[in-house]
Amino acid sequence: MRVLHFYKTFLPDTTGGGEQVIRQLCLGGAAYGIESRVLTLSRKGGPSELEVDGIHVTRLPQSVEIASCPMTWRGMDVYRRLARWADVIHLHYPWPFGDLVALLGPRRPIVITYHSDVVAQQRLMPFYRPLKNRLFKRAFRVVATSPQYAMSSPVLQRWASKLEVVPLGIDPDSYPQPDPQRQAAWRARLGEGFFLFVGVFRHYKGLPFLLEAVKGTGLQVAMAGEGPLWNGIAEQVQGWPNVHLLGRISDEDKMALLSLCRGVVFPSHLRAEAFGVFLLEAAMLGKPMISCEIGTGSSYVNVDGETGMVIPPQDPLALRNAMQRLADDSALAEELGRGAARRFDELFRMTKVNAAYAEVYRAALKASA
């Protein structure tokens, strides 16, 4: 089977959870006879064709971005060529421009991974809804990433006849092992017992509440990533001794930091945060997690009292208390970390995810024959 993943961003330009999901699907799909390619947009320039971890990536130059929706005026011929190559088109929702291109391109079975409801651009939904409904009507299957999102999303409820739940996952073998030299370097810089956040600095990540939680305390937090909120946060925490902004980091550094931290913080407060791949990475390394109850997959990965703590969103005091509790009680942190590792092994290893998607692709091909 040949599968084309079509999404607005991908490695190496950006390193968010959506990019990691596509990477994992491409890498793991080979064991099930799936040849994967990625078509994406790029605003950083560089080659239009490249290999990323052995994945063939085609990049179209981004022309404009409107309401957080990147678009290109060129490349429809490239999409048509790759769509004709593919047996199945795998779209990653939401991305209205991608919906439009897929509907205008050659007819192929479409599988949609539903990463998130549209949250920030609700005022534009009356204009977008007809396009979205047409795409979902065309699609063979719509995949929710957690039972929580499947039950709580009005959009997914409408398309229940096409709905399937396949959690996200990751393959430990696709990550580097923590390197002793990197660990020593980070230990010298940050010590141990710090809390770690890794992600794109976006509006729904709840980072202002994290900063309010640790302001004026002895709680140490390291924040890695980049994004629209980076400059404002960097200005805000200038001179704070307990907040360490690390910028974009490699997987090698991420594994070293995860191995050293007391736990991870994931304060996302809006439903645009549908899952949280960083939580999977923390669970993979047996680290306790602190996340917010927003009715999405973050509470499927992190179960309160079993793998970490789940607190109300937009509540800096609750976040501070949870961090302080883990900082003060190493036995509790270790117990919750063991629970996180057990849950990861049971539910989120990528072999199970790839097997489920392989069945979805095969069913799509059979239905279109």
Task: Give exposure, 108-139, as e/b (b: 16+ Cβ within 10 Å).
Answer: bbbbbbbbbbbeeeeeeeeebeeebeebbeeb
CA distance 244 to 221: 6
What distances in angstroms separate CA 78 from CA 83, 142, 156, one per listed residue? 8, 25, 31
CATH architecture assignment, domain 172-347:
3-Layer(aba) Sandwich (3.40)
Fold of 2-170+349-368: Rossmann fold (3.40.50)
For residue 12, is the peptide bond before it cis, meaning its omega torsion is within 30 degrees of 0? Answer: yes
Collect all residues with Cβ–Cβ distance below 8 Å to 43 and sequence separation of at least 6.
Answer: 13, 61, 62, 70
Given its phi and psi angles, is residue 332 left (phi above 0), alpha (psi -120 to 50 degrees) or beta?
alpha
What φ, ψ does residue 184 adopt, rounded to 5°? -65, -40
Q: Say what the pLDDT of residue 120 is.
A: 73
DSSP assignment of 113-125 equals: EE-----TTGGGH
pLDDT at residue number 44: 86
- Output DSSP code: residue 62: P
Domain 2-170+349-368 and domain 172-347 have a common topology = yes
The Cβ-side half-sphere exposure at 207, using a 13 Å CA radius, reads 28
Residue in the block written with tokens 């710090």: 194
Percent of the chain scored above 70 by pLDDT? 100
How far, in Å, CA of 351 to CA of 67, rounded?
Answer: 36
What is the model's pLDDT at position 45?
82
Q: From 263, 268, 264, 261, select the one nearest 315 (Cα to Cα).
A: 268
Residue 319: strand, helix, or coil: helix
Each residue of 108-167: pLDDT tens digit? 999 999 999 887 777 888 889 999 999 999 999 999 999 999 999 999 999 999 999 999
- Per-residue pLDDT, 328: 97
Q: What pLDDT sits at residue 101?
A: 97
Please give the pLDDT value at position 15: 80
DSSP structure string for 193-223: S-EEEES---GGG-HHHHHHHHTTSS--EEE
Q: How many CB atoms lie within 10 A of CB 314?
A: 16
Strand order in the sheet with 195-198: 243-247, 221-224, 195-198, 263-266, 289-292, 308-311
CA 153 – CA 159 distance, rounded (Å): 10
Sequence spans of domains, the chain: 2-170+349-368, 172-347
- Residues (pLDDT < 50) of the chain are none
3-state secondary structure of 311: strand
- Give the pairing of strands 64-66 and 69-71: antiparallel
Cα–Cα distance for residue pair 137/103, rounded to 1 Å: 11
The enclosing H or E element of 154 equals helix 154-158
pTM score: 0.87
- pLDDT at position 159 is 96
Task: State the DSSP H helix or E strand holding residue 35, giving kind and residue range, or none if neither.
Answer: strand 35-42
One-letter amino acid at 318 equals: A
Contact indicator for 93, 272 with CB cutoff of 8 Å = no
Give the rounded distance of the alpha carbon of 230 from its chain centre: 18
